[in-house]
Amino acid sequence: MHLHLPRLQLQPGHKGILIVAAWAGLLTAPVHLAPADSSATDSGGSQKPVFEEWVVVVLDGSPCGHGSTITTAVDTPSGPGFRTVHEEEFVAKRDNEQFEINESSTITEDSDGGVLDFVETTSGKGSNVEMKGTREGDDLVVTSRGQTARFHVPRLDALGPEKVRRLCNAVPLKPGQTYSFNTFSSEYPQASVVEDGTVVKEEIRAVRGNVRKLWKIVSETSMTPGMLSTSWVDDQSNDVENLTVIPGIGDLHEYVTDRAEALRPPKGAEIFTNDLIRPQQALPSPHDLGQAVYRLSTVDLDKKIDVWNQGEQQILSTEPGSCEVQVTSQPISPDDVDWQLPHEDTPELHPYLQSSTYLEVNSIRIQALARLAVGQEQNPVRAAHKIEDFVRAFITKKDLKVAFASADETAKSREGDCTEHAVLCAALGRAAGLPTRCVVGFGYLPPGEDNPAVGSGAGSDTGAFGFHMWAEAWVWPDEWVPMDAALDGFDVGHIAVVKTALSEINPLVDLNAPILQMMENMHIEVLKTVDRKDMPPVPHRIAHVKPSPAPEASAHFSPAPAAAPVPPVYVAPAAAPTSPPD
């Protein structure tokens, strides 16, 4: 996804071409710039652009991508308007695994800045997404991967890129001058994105070897609160440079340049190793532990640390800049659950059973894999464990080359990191009538351990925490069975930050925002551990939930009898599936 950073905007709502991919393979990104009216020549089209801009993107000194924005005047059903096309390419490395992301967005707006329609596409290894939106009155109707959503966004509540560009250019350049705009982001169409900025001062700055007198502007957006973007513009409000410090990643610079330089092949930048968090001591044998207590802290005492606080994870204390959290691992017994798969699609559980953009539950391939994974098992706890084991064996190419693929894409490629393991677990569960959700947080690798689906780098004496993703299956109210197919199952080395049904048409913005807030100067201390054998016994509990409908009545799944035909996805041995898809 784009990382919405302000002021220098090829397109409001986008800002740069950075892919933040940590252990979770979490996708964020790009930076866009928007200068004053340009004298750019016609780039090959029949109509000269209103403006044309090219930028080169540099992360920690390494050229890693480029972006271009071209706006032309067009006729719309309501009269004259503008169409802005933004394209970008970003090359990065995660733990020395190189990958490339290409994005393109097209936004049409009327003369007042009201967005009429948009198309956004993302392509790269393992991940291809297209999202389209059209205006119907005060609503935007958005479709992606067969999903449709309607968002109430009145026409002038979220302004298009050309209108915002002109508003930016009209901001007086004088110290202390502030501005605020409601902008439209094609990656976050459900609401306007508020951009607030302040003109700081005029200063002398060296930009790529040239010393210039420029105006410094600091701004932030509602999508990434607290993450400041610093821009430098000339006396005519033409953008020159933008700097954003990406927590846990590094300094992202964007420079306005010409087309020839922007299109030079980038070197790529390492974006994985900087976000590893090494505790003060190792976590001994996490799978043998029943409980662990951690202190999470940051040097920013104004920052509140928000992590999950329910079920297996409880916040013990919190204060500005730190919190203590307790994680307990007490496996749920299959005998403690008195309902069988498939579960009824109730209003309360519908978000955890429905098909969505990244969890294509109704896909023929996902349905077939669910039958192979679960077989005739109807106990939800045993089914969750079977799905976890199945996905661990099914994804045979465990690497960090995939950005963020959906469940169906993963079922095709059988490749990916922890995000692909998590979404496939979640989708197979839902296809079997088992409510599921995904969890983003920290995962622990012991000293010397190397896991290609999560990354290496834990070679110090203390091991390392990194951003990680796993899945959970609902078995009764407030009780979920963890499924971590990328690692060797769930243990107390998991600290949850966000838990989500992934039901949004583009969930990555909401998924990434809280993670980005925690990536800068984060420390994790191991305060206490309790061996599993020393944990108090768990009382026998039976969940009394509404009985499920008969299997044949389920819209999701019916357990396959031994001889049931299965679509030819792949040939599965009785144990682990190892042959490639057909």
Name the strand (E) or helix (H) holding 387.
helix 380-394
User: Please, are residues 377 and 361 in contact by the beta-carbon 8 Å criterion?
Assistant: no
Task: Give the model's pLDDT for residue 284.
Answer: 85
What is the C-alpha separation between 271 and 59, in angstroms, rounded? Answer: 9
Per the prediction, the chain carries an average pLDDT of: 82
Instruction: Give the pLDDT score at 3.
Output: 35
Question: Does residue 170 register a pLDDT over 60?
Answer: yes
Whether 380 has a pLDDT exceeding 70, the answer reads yes
More confident residue, 454 or 457: 454
Residue 500 buriedness (CB in 10 A; 0-12 / 13-18 / 19+):
middle
Alpha-carbon torsion angle 388, 393, 396, 397, nearest 10: 30
Distances (CA, A) of 565 to 432, 553, 569: 16, 19, 11
Structure-token pair, residue 454: 């999560």
Predicted pLDDT at 454: 58
pLDDT above 70 coverage of the chain, percent: 78
Q: For residue 455, what pLDDT is reported?
A: 56
pLDDT band at 398; cut points 50, 70, 90 = confident
Query: Residue for token digits 């915002």?
Result: 164
**Which residue in 514, 513, 509 sits closest to 186, CA to CA?**
509
**Residue given tokens 């207590």 in the structure block:** 293
- Residue 464: HSE in the Cβ half-sphere, 13 Å Cα cutoff: 22
Structure-block tokens of residue 205: 């700055």
- Beta bridge partners, 62, equal 59
Q: What's the pLDDT tens digit per position in 490-517?
A: 999 999 999 999 988 888 777 777 776 6
DSSP letter at 274? G
- Residue 193's pLDDT band (cuts 50, 70, 90): very high
Interhelix angle 418-431/380-394, rounded to 10 degrees, is 140
Task: Express each pLDDT in 4-52 by its tens digit.
Answer: 334 444 333 333 333 333 333 332 223 333 333 433 334 444 578 999 9
Cβ neighbours around 549 below 10 Å, total: 14
Report the candidate in 84, 76, 92, 99 with the shortest Cα–Cα distance to residue 12.
84
The yes-or-no verdict on residue 448 having pLDDT over 60 is yes
In DSSP terms, 82 is beta-bridged to: 73, 109
pLDDT per position as a tens digit, 128-150: 788 999 999 999 999 998 889 99
Q: Which residue has the higher pLDDT, 455 or 205?
A: 205
- Spatial distance between the Cα atoms of 276 and 467, rounded to a whole number of angstroms: 8
Q: How many other C-beta atoms can be found within 10 angstroms of the C-beta atom of residue 405?
A: 26
Question: Please, what is the Cα angle at 377 between 375 and 379, to 5 degrees?
Answer: 155
Residue 241: which pLDDT band, with cuts at 50, 70 and 90? very high
Assess whether pLDDT exceeds 70 at residue 260: yes
- What's the confidence (pLDDT) of residue 72? 97
DSSP label at residue 371 = H
More confident position, 570 or 224:
224
Report the Cα 576 to chain-centroid distance in Å.
Answer: 30
pLDDT given at position 210: 93
| Alpha helices (runs of H) in 15-66, residue ranges in sequence order | none
Report d(CA 397, CA 409) in Å as an integer: 13
Enter the pTM of the model: 0.80
Beta strands 313-319 and 127-136 are unpaired
Distances (CA, A) of 70 to 35, 86, 88, 400: 11, 7, 12, 33
Domain layout of the chain by residue ranges = 51-273, 332-520
- Using CA atoms, how far apart are residues 146 and 410, in angstroms rounded to an integer? 17
* 208-235 average pLDDT score: 92
- CATH ID of 332-520, from 3.10.620.30, 3.40.50.720, 3.40.50.1980, 3.90.1150.10: 3.10.620.30
Give residue 540's pLDDT: 59
Q: CB neighbours of 568 closer than 8 A, spacing ≥ 6?
A: 582
Per-residue pLDDT tens for 61-74? 888 889 999 999 99
- Cβ atoms of 101 and 404 within 8 Å: the answer is no
Between 66 and 553, the more confident residue is 66
Task: Give the CA distances from residue 124 to residues 4, 21, 78, 103, 539, in Å, rounded to whole numbers and listed in that order.
Answer: 20, 13, 36, 9, 49
Task: List, in order, residues 6 or more apart from 237 with CB less than 8 Å away.
Answer: 35, 36, 168, 169, 171, 173
- Model confidence at 419, pLDDT cuts 50, 70, 90, reads very high
Contacts 24+ apart (CB under 8 A), 233-236: 233/35, 233/173, 235/173, 236/36
Amino acid at 361: V
**Most confident stretch, 317-321, 493-497, 538-542:** 493-497
Location of structure tokens 């990643």: 249
Residue 518 Cα distances to 16, 195, 279, angstroms: 20, 21, 15
Q: Is the pLDDT of residue 537 over 90?
A: no
Element (H, E) at 98: strand 97-110
User: What is the reported pLDDT for 97?
Assistant: 66
Of 38-47, 98-107, 208-217, the range with the highest mean pLDDT is: 208-217
pLDDT in tens, 183-192: 999 988 999 9
Angle at 244 (CA atoms; ends 197, 203), nearest 5 degrees: 65
Residue 570 banded pLDDT, cuts 50, 70, 90: very low
Per DSSP, helices labelled H in 406-450 are 407-413, 418-431
pLDDT at 94 over 50: yes
* Integer Cα distance of 104 and 402 in angstroms: 19
